Amino acid sequence: MNAITIDGPAASGKSTVGYLVGQRLDFLFFDTGVMYRAVAWAILDRGIDSADIGAVGRVAGQLPIGVKAPGADAGDGRQATIHVGGVDVTWSIRSPRVDSIVSVVAANRLVREALSRKQRLIGLEHGSGAAEEAGVVMVGRDIGTVVLPEAPLKIYLEAPLEERARRRFRELVERGNEADFARILDDMRLRDQIDSERAVAPLRPARDAYQIRTDGVSAVEVVEQILPLAVKHLGVAPSSPRKQGPSGDSSPGAGRDCGIIAGSF
């Protein structure tokens, strides 16, 4: 199976690193966090209380979430375009309001059952060589432990809380949002706690995961640590790093055509 799982806490570098690893291996990159965020966005939109386990679970079971390679909308830094129904929610699922409830939504066992089943199907399809891509890099909190435990390479990224909060702060400012560092730090501490103490599929490294620190190193250096592990465990051959234009290059496959800035988290 050609699947690499990357788990870790918020802003540990999973998406940046996972995206670049996907590019080098011609693998689909799939950030599963967007599905939990889409459910959180939908319940805010519909005025549903995040504590209502049954109602939130029903939304998760029925929500039409689309994840596609960015097309004409690439170039604003997105790694993928996320739709709920016909609405492009790519950026609204990253809002502070969604941030503030998404951990509670992700701790709901009905939500997890619905979403991790779908994620597993995506992982099996794209990791089996049946799809267009050579494999899949799947990113989240429980991919190595629950969603794709049979993946031949599992990575767990970590960085100190303050460093991760600084990254999130920078991200928000760069996107033109208002950001309060102390608040981001507190929210992230709380999200870490909810993600790692929940009863179902808590955040933790798989027993056979490689644990890699991402503070004090660039994303590209982390990628360079992971690629030899992919060669060893999957027997794949990475391509050389590609130059990326502001609106992406023409590489094939979902999530790999956007202009993410290599080397920064």
Residues that bind ligand DC (CB under 6 A): 10, 32-33, 36-37, 102-103, 106, 140-143, 191, 195
Quick one: 32 or 81, whose CB is closer to ligand DC? 32
Find out whether 64 and 37 touch, Cβ atoms under 8 Å.
no
For 124, the enclosing helix (H) or strand (E) is: helix 109-127
Quote the CA–CA distance of 160 and 180 in Å, as a whole number: 18
Quick one: 23 or 145, whose CB is closer to ligand DC? 145
Quick one: 26 or 142, whose CB is closer to ligand DC? 142
Q: How far is the CB of 160 from ligand DC (least distance, A)?
A: 17
Q: How far is the CB of 139 from ligand DC (least distance, A)?
A: 7
Q: How far is the CB of 140 from ligand DC (least distance, A)?
A: 2
Q: How far is the CB of 42 from ligand DC (least distance, A)?
A: 14
Quick one: 26 or 195, whose CB is closer to ligand DC? 195
Quote the CA–CA distance of 29 and 47 in Å, as a whole number: 32
Amino acid at residue number 158: E
Nearest 10 degrees: CA dihedral of 63, 64, 70, 71? -150
Long-range contacts of 42-47 (CB under 8 A, 24+ apart): 42/84, 43/101, 43/105, 44/97, 44/98, 44/101
Q: How far is the CB of 32 from ligand DC (least distance, A)?
A: 4
Quick one: 133 or 195, whose CB is closer to ligand DC? 195
Find out whether 134 and 2 touch, Cβ atoms under 8 Å.
yes
